[in-house]
Structure 1
Amino acid sequence: MDDTTKVALAAAVASGYVLGRTKKGRLAFGLATYLAGRRTGLNPQALLSGGLGKLGDVPGLQQLNEQVRGELLSAGRKALTSAADRRLGDLAESLRERTQRIG
């Protein structure tokens, strides 16, 4: 990106922020960023692939990714186990109540 593109994009974002303080800010911000992107010839897919490529070059990102992934998997397992235990406990309680009603 050259300097004029960067300036145009910064101006679009700044004006979108200022308009975002008003009632119709989301629409104005979306329109401003769309028009700025069209004017400067930005391609969302190219921006995304370039950004992901640059993220891969960060040295500590792989270690951070592994740490976060491990923590998320652990939290997910705990949540799944808790939900399964609760549902099985409810089923056991329901069966116990039905057995008492029959007997």
Structure 2
Amino acid sequence: MAQAFTREDENIERFNELNRANRDANVSAQGVVAAFSPTLDVLSTIGLAIVIGLGGYMALQDPSLITVGVIVSFLVYVRRFFQPIQQLAQLYAQLQSAL
């Protein structure tokens, strides 16, 4: 149909423009993930280190105050706190590349 109306050049140019826009959106989305994901990993690791350090210190100072089970529970809470944030970052990247 494009050949009948001699629109090959216009269609090729439109196709190239759409491909460039798609590429730019994907690069932008991956840039966000590349910056956001390691930041969340570092924050999560810092949170875990604080819980382990402070919990270990408190357990050594007064064993009746805190137990190993309480420390493990807090470690799980810290991990579960950051999971939805990481999922939102991944969802944002998927949404950016879909648009």
TM-score bin, normalised by smaller chain? 0.3 to 0.5
Query: TM-score if structure 2 supplies the norm length?
Result: 0.42
Q: Whose relative contact order is higher, 1 or 2, with alpha carbons under 8 Å and at least 6 apart? A: 2
Task: Flag the structure with larger Rg.
Answer: 1
Query: TM-score if structure 1 supplies the norm length?
Result: 0.41
